[in-house]
Structure 1
Amino acid sequence: MVAAAAALGVLLPLAACGGGDGGVPTINLYYPPEQNLQTVIDNCNEQAQGRYRIEYRVLPRGADDQRVQMVRRLAAGDRGMDVLGLDVTWTQEFASADWILPWTGDARAEVERGTLAGPLESARYEDELFAAPKNTNVQLLWYRTDLVEQPPETWDDMIAAAQRLKEQGQPYQVLTMGAQYEGLVAFYNTLVASAGGQILNEDGTEAVFDEGAVRALEVLQRFATAGVTSASFTNALEDDVRLAFQSGNGAFQLNWPFVYPALQEGAPELADKVGWARYPGVDAGQPSRVTIGGVNLAVSRYSDHPDEAFEAALCIRNAENQKFSAINDGVPPTIESIYADPEMTEAYPMKDEILAELRDGATRPLTPAYQNVSTVLSVTLSPPSAIRPQETADQLRRSVQDALESKGVLPG
């Protein structure tokens, strides 16, 4: 995600520091748009019994714009921000900049209790917990059951199945995100993890791009040149992919679970012919490891009410409220036990596949320089058809190492 240049020119007015009505502290929650989150906040305010009041400050819809707004205000020491909804890739950056407070003691223990390992890993920095995973996400394989008897287990299998359908004059396309943006980075990261490779070392200080990362480049390049993508593949974002599949153009779709309710509403006749399965792996017999998404809750170092902010964040992401958000807003929970709740079955018929992927999900490279690394990756990988696996890996090893060390001018 590259920070939107237009947003850099305007610094939004700072929110008033939370005094609240009648001396009740106001806890300002800066969080992405979520349709029914206000109900969760109302419940938490009721539970607070007047000790504080949470106010929902809705961030822009675009992730880049969200980050720009928060970074600018935190860099200015804005005291009007209390709880921050961070993309899972931002925790390390914000922690290394000393903008957010670590979770300690009973609060940390409560966050860690029952939370899935992948989301929890994204909330840590230098062995400390700096955020509380509120929701997570993984992509699935969506496929036409009237065209495909069994979902493919590997990319080779899927490409071959699509080519057979193409020869038969059937809908055949494999639809997924290939534009030069974070979605392409997540795509490649999934392939690397599925091939057992590494982009960075365990400490996030050195660019690796080992044999598994080269194998991932081979798969990505082969897919892009196999004649099974859409003409718009290199410009496709999540909703473009959803709409193309929903219109009947594809046999396969690799996308987030939001496509399921959209398909039920927008194309109910097609919905009856769509199944779901685990994301394809790179090698036979080796299940995929899929890149996780989601939002982590952090407490600003500049909050005038940190104790109340930690308590408010714990309430917003507790099991009851995570289940409510999953059912009503389609955001998968980070607390594993929620998936066994009977109420999840109707809203999430694919919950078993989601949970299986989350149990061994892949985090994106954990480094405070992630924005730099992501920019280099998205530019170098685009278009995927131009990848030359070993040569591209060597190039990425050099340019990502420079990005980690903040060297040179990053591509735009």
Structure 2
Amino acid sequence: MVRTPTLLLALAVACLVLASCGGSSSSKGGTVTLNWWAYNEPSGSFRDAADRCTKQSHGAYRIAFNALGNDADTQRQSLVRRLAAKDSSIDLMSMDVVWTGEFAQAGWIRPWPASFAAKVKKGTLAGPLATAMYQGRLYAAPANSNTQLLWYRKDLVKSPPKTWDAMIDAAVKLPKAGRIEIQGAAYEGTMVWFNALVESAGGKILDSPTTVGSDRAALATAARIMHRLATSKAADPSLKNQKEDQNRLAFEQGKAAFQVNYPFIYPSAKANNPKLFKEIGWAPYPGVKDGVPAKAPIGGFNWGVSSYTKHPQQAFEAATCLRSAQNQREFAIKGGLPPTLSSLYADPKFKKDYPFAALVRRQLDHAGVRPVTPLYADVSLAVYTTVSPPGNIDLKSVVKTLQKRIGDALKSKGLL
């Protein structure tokens, strides 16, 4: 096909606008444009951090924020498509903490140079830091951590339950709002729930990066609890489609007495339902055995530097800035996202603004980490497609099915 000069000019202009045509660029004065692909954090704190670091660079770089989807599966799909194509339009990215091994093994992210790695490691909590490591090297900067708490209505619940079974018992007895909001859709959130239950029961989904977990009792316990909740009066009627944000909305609307979710729900309730906000209490993540503390989930985002960026030096500088104490404080206060820096948890002002800080840190120190393997995405898919919807779990065969499907995932056999 012959292209006219007018058409060629239009295409050239379009490529200047679209990052995907030419990747990062330098504008007048030598300022480098860094494309940061990140979760579209609802409070706007990620965008604020990008603007703040741009100003603090004094013209060295400009961070252009590119919004990813709202759930982890969608975010991963968007990044993987671009990275697999060696797309230089990605300079920086927000990565779910479980992607480190996969992205590093695939060669999609750069290991951090020693000088930058030293800055990242200094003062970072051990749990979040471990999620950024692969084969002994730092491949990402822990920007925020995350863990789920048990949130409850103080006007309906006098004493928060300590186990899942006790919570179900309490919820079904309530005369109103006797619901428990939890994630049950076929996606990563259900993997998070199942893994926390397995870990709390003393087991592991994987015994090693390449070996299926051998503790059948722990797998059975986790499946039983999920099935019991899903088939009880305490279940949200939409449990099989529920994700974190649907849980938040139902709780804010007064439909539930309990919610197991991340701290982002706290500033949201304060803004959207001040009356209910005053009644929100928080407690440790529920356990599965009386007297045995739970292994709560650990999540969050790490900043990775693309292997295909044309400006690695500026990208590492920007990623370091984006996870500064100032930015992590805002992520927590505005967006509810827990910090990874120990200094913030010792700050009296931060503890006043983030009243559950001590509980969050305690849970992060003893969290139930999801399986560490380059094949994590396949393992997760095998799990959540087996246990979702929770009400359809076949308790007689679920352990055998899980172990087979996880084994197939570790051998890269097709799951769909």
Q: Normalised by the size of structure 1, how large is the TM-score?
A: 0.90
Give the distance between the partners of 1:336 and 1:184, measured in 2 at CA: 29
Whether 1:300 and 2:306 are equivalent positions in the alignment is yes
Distance change >3 Å, CA 385–CA 56, structure 1 → 2:
closer
| Structure 2, gaps ≥5 residues long | 1-17
1:9-408 to structure 2, matched below 5 A, reads 13-34=20-41, 35-165=44-174, 169-202=175-208, 204-210=209-215, 211-389=217-395, 391-408=397-414
- 2:181–2:259 Cα contact (<8 Å) kept: yes
Q: Is the contact between residue 182 and residue 259 of structure 2 (CA under 8 Å) also seen in structure 1?
A: yes
Q: Which has the higher mean CA deviation after the structures are superposed, 48-57 or 317-326?
A: 48-57
Secondary structure class of the residue paired with 2:20: coil
* Aligned counterparts of 1:62 and 1:156: Cα–Cα separation in 2: 28
Say what the alpha-carbon RMSD is for the aligned residues. Answer: 2.1
Shift, 1:346, TM fit = 4.3
Provide structure 1 residue ranges, at least 5 long, that are not aligned to the other structure. 1-10
Structure 1 CA distance, aligned partners of 2:65 and 2:207? 38
How many Å apart are 1:355 and its aligned residue?
A: 1.7
Matched-pair contact (CA < 8 Å) for 1:85–1:296:
yes
Give the distance between the partners of 1:31 and 1:285, measured in 2 at CA. Answer: 40
Aligned equivalents of 1:179, 1:37: Cα separation in 2: 27
Counterpart-to-counterpart distance in 2, 1:164 and 1:74: 51
Show structure 1 runs of 4+ deviating over 4 A. none
Q: Do the aligned residues in 2 keep the contact of 1:209 with 1:393 (CA within 8 Å)?
A: no
CA distance in 1, matches of 2:388, 2:38: 31
**Shift of residue 53, structure 1, vs aligned partner:** 3.0
Q: Which amino acid aligns with 1:191?
A: L
Q: Structure 1, residues 145-204: CA drift from partner, whole Å, max 9, x if none? A: 222221111112212222332xxx3332222111222111111111111111100123x1
CA distance in 1, matches of 2:257, 2:334: 29
Instruction: Verify the 8 A CA contact 1:215 1:389 in the aligned structure 2.
Output: no
Q: What code does the residue aligned with 2:327 have?
A: N
- Summarize the Cα distance change of 1:250–1:130 in structure 2 as closer, same or farther, 3 Å threshold: same
Distance 1:381 1:71 in 2: 25
**Judging changes above 3 Å, is the alpha-carbon distance between structure 1 residues 248 and 20 closer, same or farther for their aligned structure 2 residues?**
same
Deviation string for 1:86-145 (max 9, x for gaps)? 121222111111111112312212212222222222212222211111111111111122
Residue pair 1:29, 1:54 contacting (<8 A) in 2 also: yes
- 1:281 shift after superposition: 0.6
Q: 1:62, CA displacement in angstroms?
A: 4.2
Q: Is the 8 A contact 1:172 1:250 kept in 2?
A: yes
Task: State the Cα deviation string for residues 21-75 of structure 1 (Å, max 9, x = none).
Answer: 2333332222222313333233323332333333323334443333233222222
Q: Structure 2 CA distance, aligned partners of 1:287 and 1:223?
A: 20
